[in-house]
Amino acid sequence: MTTTTQDVINFVDAWRASNDVFNNRKLTTAETQKFVTDLQAKVGEMSVKSPTPGANVVAYSGQIGGANGWEVAAGMSADSNGKLVYISDVDAGKAISSDAFREAVLTVVGDVNVRNAIFNGSITAEGKRTPYGVGETLSLNDFVSREFMLANAKGNVMTLTPAGRGDSVWSLTELPVLLDHPEVTHINGVAVEDLRRLKVDLVASGAVSDHEAAGKVVLDYVNTISAQETSNLKIPVDAEGKVLLDANQRLVDVGTSDYFSKLGEPGLGKPLPPELAGRYAATLEVPTTMAGEAALQNAKLANDHIVTYNQERLDLASASGDTARIGLASESLNRANMAGMVMGLMLIGSEAMASELAGDRDGAQQIVADGLGDFAESAAIFGGIELAAAAIGAIAGLPLAAYVGGLLAAYGAYEAIKMVPVLVNSIGNLFTAATVAAPRRDPLVLDLDGDGIETVGVNATTPLMFDIAGTGVKQSVGWVKRDDGFLVRDRNGNGLIDSGAELFGDATVLASGQKAVDGFAALAELDSNHDGKVDAAEVGFASLRVWRDVNQDGVSQAGELSNLASLDIAALNADDTSHSTVLANGNRIADIGTYVKTSGELGDFGETAQSADIDLAVDTFRSQFSDHLDTSSVANLPDLQGAGQVRSLREAATQNSTLAELLAQFAAADDRATQMGLIDSLLKEWSSTSPMAATFTGAYAGHALTVNVQSVVTGSAAYQSWADKLTVLEHFNGRTFNPVPSGAATVTVNLWTATQALLQQSYDQLKASVYQSLALQTRLKPYLDAITLDASETGVSLDFAAMDGALDARISADAATGVADWIEMVRFEGAQLKDAGWPGIDRLNARLNDPANAAAVDAARLALGSSYSSFSTHADLFIGSSGNDVVSNLGDNDTLLGGLGNDAIIVSGNNNLVDGGAGNDTLTSGYNVNSTIDGGAGDDLIQANTQNYGSNANANTISGGAGNDRMLMGGTADTYLFDRGDGQDTINDQGSNNWGQTVGADKIVLGAGISASDLVTRRFGNHLVVRVNDPANPAATDQITVENWFASDTYRIERFVFADGTSLSKAQMNVRGNVQVGTDAADTLSNSFGDGVLYGGTGNDTLDGGAGDDSLVGGTGNDTYLFGRGSGADTVTENDATAGNTDLVQFAAGIAMDQLWFRRVGNNLEVSIIGTSDKLTIANWYSGSANHVEQFQTADNHLLLDIQVGVPVQPMGLAPVLTVNWQ
């Protein structure tokens, strides 16, 4: 029978009775010891096993992200689908948390301090907790925790211990148990054997004095790793950053899905609910004291050892050839390297912040600069800055946390800005579009696991580089997945597979000196006895290997190469069957065949049931030379990565003195025109260093070649220009325009007009890309160098003041050149600088819209040329003139600045930024796009080109700017920005589309200083008018009109958002806004939209509240109030003492005089329609005749005057009188 908490309480009561502990008699020391010993034995009878078999433990200690660790652990256990268990899930754990149990123990020992020691451990004179309750008996918390860990811990134990103190149950009891537990292999992903070894090595190396100190290092390391892992938990907080608690002061929720996903369990956990998801605290605990910094130092020391252990493990695995061990060791090493990077960054922040707080800002900045240099090296080696950002970037609530987060953000921005751009992929894409065949290379591949050969396509983002053609140049290639292998032969005997020449394919050199047609032809050469197969009878069979690229890096490691016998391969059939299937990823299954296993079964070479040559897709544009040249002689020149069969710029300059001279001239030039004028010559000389034969430089040697350029005379200057451009493009793309055929005596290459257009675009983009990269390293570099890292109490950020000053100084010295520099800084670096906090577009616009700069702007536009006013497939910048410009673009990611004048700008592409500038502009956005549009100063029209199209997946951000603007948008999720001084804007947002889809939610975001109390809402017709009052400027006339708000829900804006984070919903605005105000004339005001307020004002007005509970205020004049069945509960307010004015309540048809019920309610007169809930209240009727409605009239023309209503004392008192008084 299971022992329960109540059983233990009963035991305590029985012990108390049997030992005569009454009248609060104090126990002797011996009695206390006996009680504690007996109590522990009884608790020991309770179950500590997980209620879910197989669940692993989760340990916790202290707070996590400001929340109690046990509450977070409870949430994780609940969300783990039975895979995790925490201590309070088991019977013994529930008992030690029971208030009733603790009270029962207190009745025995009679002393709160003794009771607390029994449960939690005793406290030393120095204030440190020990694990012992009384004497040498463990406290109940330590005892149950030990038994819980022993019973349930296994495999990789994850801990929630970023704030685990050195005297906690976790530190003194649970961690030692885990380190010695035979079934625990890892703690927070770190191998337990490494942690055990670490303790020994730290003492042996003299890094620490004794084993106790070594234990502290291990503890600090495990806790720091826990801090990084728990950064994926989300703790909800309020607007002030305080953890959200319920009425019982318990954590309301915890988001665990990201945590489990990072652990490789994406199906477990749950996100925060939508209402909490927008504001949460990350849980990375960063120490803020010197003791905390010491803990970081300990963790970094430990991690350095762990990296060494994992490197040793990887070396052993590679030597053994065990691919599974290689994969595990590589993963562990990468994780340890990443952990070290994060710790290093935290230490930089800790040291810099200490200097800052001590008043040494210069010292803090030097620490930042020095530390970031080391961090940059780590990021370059391990490629881990994004992961480091993920671990640190979201931390909040602690001084050092903000400092470190700002440090990382500033570093990332700074490096992104300073990074030299590479040649854009679209150069190669356009060249490929112009050619007739996609490039592929043909290696022979074996299906090793019987599921067909699986491949991956070319990856433009993270290319896999391999010298597939055997030319000494690595190219971005499609590849074979890790469970299949290439047939290879280490022909140079260096233990590696260096290139396609050591595969079996079209790069294999045959005995004849020619290259094989394909992989089967290369294999057939080994068939010396001509029996159609290659087996042990052939001399070369023993040298064959299969390369499984386990880590998919394109580099052969020793453990990835296997001999055929180890794979049970007896023979390779050299015969093949013709076949061709192009896969979705761009690779192609070519000829198919089979191989023979030692069992006699046929194995597969291919993706079908047979075998195959795999023609892997190749991006010949993306390339790396295998060797590197000494560039010390040209180290002062700008550099740029090469492409295709062209080396990097500096390496090429060592081979071509003319190129080096052109680069020196480019670097010395201080204006755009001179630099751009050198680019064509520079490209030609750079291209000439390529060893590749191009169409016009010998690729067709041995053929009679004719090159036709449509509409261009052969031999003319234009023809030679095309010859130069085609040569450059072929070299930079690593292949000739057409494949060179074999066997044909006569060859014709045609460049049709459509082909020329694509090639010209490719050349223009190459030219622009090279110019941008070189300009940023030369003429524009001083501006970037003027950006500084600023360390302050709040963190580290980028300071752009000196850069702005340098740009403005350039304008002062030479307005046209200075404006051009401003424009190019925005075009080339605007996105990165904006992300780092530079409002470059706004500052550039201020200069463009300054009439004093009008001539300079026009001159700069002329100097910048067509690349700045027409649009290609990459990000462009359009600068308007001082006149009225008309421009339309189709591309994406463009910036269009209208400048002065009344401009018309139409954007059809995606992610474009449009600013109309000064003037009355018309700005039109396409549908199904995301645009950011600012009208600028003037009365602008901003519109979607089709309002009733769009998608809920698209969103626009729109600002009218100063002036009275009109915005017509549609079925997208639009954000309208409005600040004080923006004028009187009108929004017509038709929130529906022609496909019947649910459209996105719109919002109006009001600028700083505007609060809900500043908004005065009125209804005019079907429109909602929102007046934005300014308490500091009573004359302000800012307002927003939302057209058709009251006509249809599709026109309503879902939310009004204020700068302080508060908002008003659509429903709240309905109530606030359903107010109609008449003019001085005779108005007819009616409400068909729920509860409303109608103000007639002066004049003879007619007011109809319609359905709902309405407030009707007639004002002065002869007003008529309409009321009938279904009108709801309306209230009329009259205060018109003008002699001769007569107001009237007109009842609707079907209401007879005897169906009306009059009564007094307070000072009000209430008129009800008998049998309904409809009633009309005349406010303050009994306070004076000025508040009267002088006449009541039914549809059949019966009339009742106010003087005939009388003064009843009881409700209903008027009924018989009124009936006879109707006229």
Mean pLDDT across 10-21: 85
pLDDT of residue 281 exceeding 70, the answer is no
Mean pLDDT score of the chain, rounded to an integer? 82
Are 134 and 32 contacting, i.e. CB atoms less than 8 angstroms apart? yes
**Per-residue confidence (pLDDT) for residue 951, from 0 to 100:** 46
Q: Best-predicted range by mean pLDDT among 194-208, 246-260, 653-667, 920-934?
A: 653-667
Q: How far is CA 402 from CA 66, 300, 349, 397, 793, in A?
A: 15, 21, 9, 7, 9
Domain assignments of the chain as residue spans, ordered by start = 5-187+233-282, 290-418, 425-625, 632-779, 857-1073, 1083-1221
Better-scored residue on pLDDT, 146 or 931: 146
With cut-offs at 50, 70 and 90, classify the pLDDT of residue 1212: very low
Cβ atoms of 1016 and 1007 closer than 8 Å: no
Q: What predicted TM-score, i.e. pTM, was given to this entire model?
A: 0.57
Query: Residue 242's pLDDT band (boundaries 50, 70, 90)?
Result: confident
Chain segment 789-846, per-residue pLDDT in tens: 665 555 556 778 888 999 999 988 988 888 888 888 887 877 677 767 787 777 777 7
Q: Which residue has the higher pLDDT, 232 or 572?
A: 572
Distances (CA, A) of 558 to 47, 202, 321, 496, 546: 51, 32, 6, 8, 11
- Listed range (373-387, 831-845, 985-999, 1042-1056) with the worst mean pLDDT: 373-387
Tokens, residue 693: 């034969």
- Res 385: pLDDT: 39
Low-confidence winner among 356-360, 585-589, 892-896, 1134-1138 (lowest mean pLDDT)? 356-360
Per the DSSP assignment, residues forming a β-bridge with 132 are 138
Weakest mean pLDDT among 242-246, 653-657, 760-764: 242-246
C-alpha distances out from residue 800 to 369, 416, 700, 790, 824, Å: 17, 15, 55, 10, 16
Q: How confident is the model at residue 215 (pLDDT cuts 50, 70, 90)?
A: very high
What pLDDT band is residue 378 in, cutting at 50, 70 and 90?
very low
Q: Which two tokens stand for residue 754?
A: 């459509």
pLDDT value at 1185 more than 80: yes
CB-based contacts of 1202: which residues, under 8 Å, 6+ apart?
A: 1185, 1188, 1189, 1190, 1191
- What is the pLDDT, as a whole number, of residue 1102? 95
pLDDT of res. 1145: 97
pLDDT band at 692 (very low <50, low <70, confident <90, very high): very high
- Dist. CA 1004–CA 989, nearest whole Å: 11
pLDDT confidence bin for 1071, thresholds 50/70/90 = confident
For residue 1164, which of 1139, 1184, 1193 has the smallest C-alpha distance? Answer: 1184
> What pLDDT is stored for residue 616 in this prediction?
82
Average pLDDT over residues 253-268: 76
The pLDDT value given to residue 876: 64
Q: What are the b/e assignments for 142-175, b being 16+ CB within 10 Å?
A: bbbbbbbbeebbeebbbbbbbbbbbbbbbbbbbb
**Angle at CA of residue 123, ends 121 and 124, nearest 5°:** 135
pLDDT tens, 892-910? 777 777 877 888 888 877 7
CA atoms of 508 and 517, how far apart (whole Å): 9
pLDDT of residue 257: 80
pLDDT confidence tier of residue 81, bands split at 50, 70 and 90: confident
510 phi, psi to nearest 5 deg: -80, 170
Residue 603 CB neighbour total at 10 angstroms: 23
Give the tens place of pLDDT for each residue, 642-653.
888 999 999 999
Let me know if 992 is exposed, middle or buried by CB neighbors in 10 A (0-12, 13-18, 19+): buried
Rounded-to-integer distance, Cα 299 and Cα 241, Å = 28
